[in-house]
Amino acid sequence: MKIIQENNSSSIIIFLAYEVGRSELIAFLKSMEKENLQHRLLIVTPPDLFDIFKELKNLCIVNDFRSLDSLIAAIEYLVRERNLTVTDLMAIDEEEQFSISRRIAEHFQLKFYSLKTCAIASNKFLQKTIFAQNNIPTGHFTLISELNEKHINVIGFPNILKVLSGNGSAYLFKNDNLEQLQTHFEILKKSVKDVDSDSRFREQQIDLGEYKIILNPKNQFLLEEYIGGEEYSCDFIVDKGHVRIIRVVKKYRGPFLGFFSGYLLLREEDLAPNHIDLNDLEAICLRITNSFEIESGVCMVDFKMNQGKFKLIESSIRPGLSAFNHLMYEIFGYTSLALMAKQKMGIEIETLFPRENGAIIYLYADKNTILDEPDITSLEQFRSEYNILHIHKFESSGLPVTDNLCDRSGYLIGYVMIKNPNSGQIPELADLFNRNLKFIPRSKKNG
């Protein structure tokens, strides 16, 4: 464990950089530095992101999150030695059902979301159940541990089979017929049976007040109606019963289910052509926060628009975590995480739709190039023609894909960021960039 010092304020908030990407974290830190607020953050970062803080000046603890007792002791020591006051905490540890944040909040006697709220936000079946009760439009769904004709008839085809908790696109299957569903169900059961270290598959005991339920993601899965239409995502801020949209992005279908070829950051004038009414979207987001039973915070929602009608996919009590945070910083000058921090610091927040737009276009390896080194310089030829701001390679690119059927995240190797693109050309640009991306065989590189 390491501690880095750079703080001139006695009042701080804790940010747990748990399961957040490198470019997303840098964009957040630059957002805070731009407004001279970085000194009010105490950041806990895993060791693989430590090098970021060599250039950016923040109060930082390097910790692997494996022992909460040692992490709390490190924070307590730093707070005591520097005579600091912890006033709040930013929680994005959805993969851990917000348990890390909760424990730290309890230790420092900070206000935190209820167990019920955290359960709803981190369990897809429970979330859809609560949202349906509050008349938030979503597809038909059911909880299954075995396939039976009744459930299949209710949901119909096509449908989606997925795990109950966690975020990301792993363990996700689209089924067009009964044969596919049966095959994918057996694959899913077999794949999760012996998983030990993945927090998405821990048993969850959930207290809903009137009754308690136990959900086991290793043998219970969500079967839901496949929702047609175009997919979108937005972040929104809620404060004392009022909701404001922070950003809206359109998603473009990618090479695998749940993975995308790109994101387009929408301006306000782009909403109507995409059949999105801002007032309607804010009203639905308010119903989502009421379902979560929260009065403040920054949340996200993934949804589809089909024939002008909204249908929810899923939501959370933390901002969206993806490469569009880097894009937000370049277009807005801030990110949703920065607004989350400012709200917790008690600073007045202004939200504006961008005057310009931008896009993230993802780069993928395939089964033949997954172990090779991607050469992103091969895309420099397109920089001026398509107004490319950044060509970014993920640190984890080139690692083996351990579960080709259930988790294809290893194929995702980076992205290209474009300013003011022609939105109609994004699928073609995704094809162009991926077709021209070159790979260097590691054996040749090392030789």
- Give residue-wise pLDDT tens across range 343-375: 999 999 988 888 899 999 999 998 888 888 999
Mean pLDDT of the region 288-297: 95
Judge whether residue 267 has pLDDT over 90: yes
Residue 285 gets the label, from left (phi > 0), alpha (psi -120 to 50) or beta, of: alpha
Quick one: average pLDDT of 422-437?
Answer: 95
Q: What is the pLDDT of residues 118-148, one digit of tens each?
A: 999 999 999 999 999 999 999 999 999 999 8
Judged by DSSP in three states, 445 sits in: helix
- Least confident segment among 2-16, 108-122, 226-240: 2-16
Tell me the DSSP string of 97-156. Answer: TTHHHHHHHHHTT-----HHHHHHHHBHHHHHHHHHHTT--B--EEEESS--HHHHHHH-
pLDDT exceeds cutoff 80 at 67: yes
pLDDT at 397: 56
In this prediction, residue 87 has a pLDDT band, given cuts at 50, 70 and 90, of very high
Pick from 133-142, 202-211, 265-274: least confident? 202-211
pLDDT of residue 138: 94
Question: Residue 180 in contact with residue 165, Cβ under 8 Å?
Answer: no
At residue 325, does pLDDT exceed 80? yes
**Pairwise pLDDT comparison (209 vs 125), residue with the higher score:** 125
C-alpha 24/C-alpha 318 separation (Å) is 14
Q: Evaluate if residue 333 carries a pLDDT over 80.
A: yes
For the segment 254-278, the average pLDDT, to the nearest whole number, is 94
Mean pLDDT of 385-401: 81
For position 9, what pLDDT does the model report?
58
| Ranges 39-53, 109-123, 276-290: which has the least confidence | 39-53
Q: Which residue intervals of 335-377 are DSSP H helices? A: 336-344
| Single-letter code of the amino acid located at 12 | I
Tens-place pLDDT, residues 17-47? 998 989 999 999 999 999 999 999 999 989 9
The arithmetic mean of pLDDT across residues 320-333, rounded, is: 94
pLDDT at 79: 93
- Are residues 106 and 34 in contact, defined by beta-carbon separation less than 8 angstroms? no
Which 8-state DSSP code applies to residue 407?
B
Strand 373-375 relative to strand 438-440, pairing: antiparallel
Helix (H) or strand (E) holding 12: strand 11-16
- Residue-level pLDDT at 347: 94
Residue partners of 285: CB distance under 8 A and separation at least 6: 234, 236, 238, 243, 245, 299, 301
Q: How confident is the model at residue 447 (pLDDT cuts 50, 70, 90)?
A: very low
pLDDT at 166: 72
Mean pLDDT across 271-293:
96
Band of residue 279 on the pLDDT scale cut at 50, 70, 90:
very high
Distance CA 327, CA 416 (A): 10
pLDDT, residue 3, reads: 38
Can you give the pLDDT at residue 133? 92
Residue 1: Cβ within 10 Å count: 13
What's at 308, amino acid-wise?
G
How far, in Å, CA of 148 to CA of 329, rounded?
A: 48
What's the token pair of residue 126? 């429970």
Predicted TM-score of the model (pTM) = 0.92
Average pLDDT for 252-278: 94
Mean pLDDT of the chain: 90
Start-to-end CA distance of the chain, whole Å, equals 36
Residue 354 vs residue 58, higher pLDDT: 354
**Predicted pLDDT of residue 5:** 44
**Who contacts 47 (Cβ-Cβ below 8 Å, separation ≥6)?**
62, 64
Contact 400, 371 (CB under 8 A): yes
pLDDT given at position 344: 96
pLDDT at position 428 over 70: yes
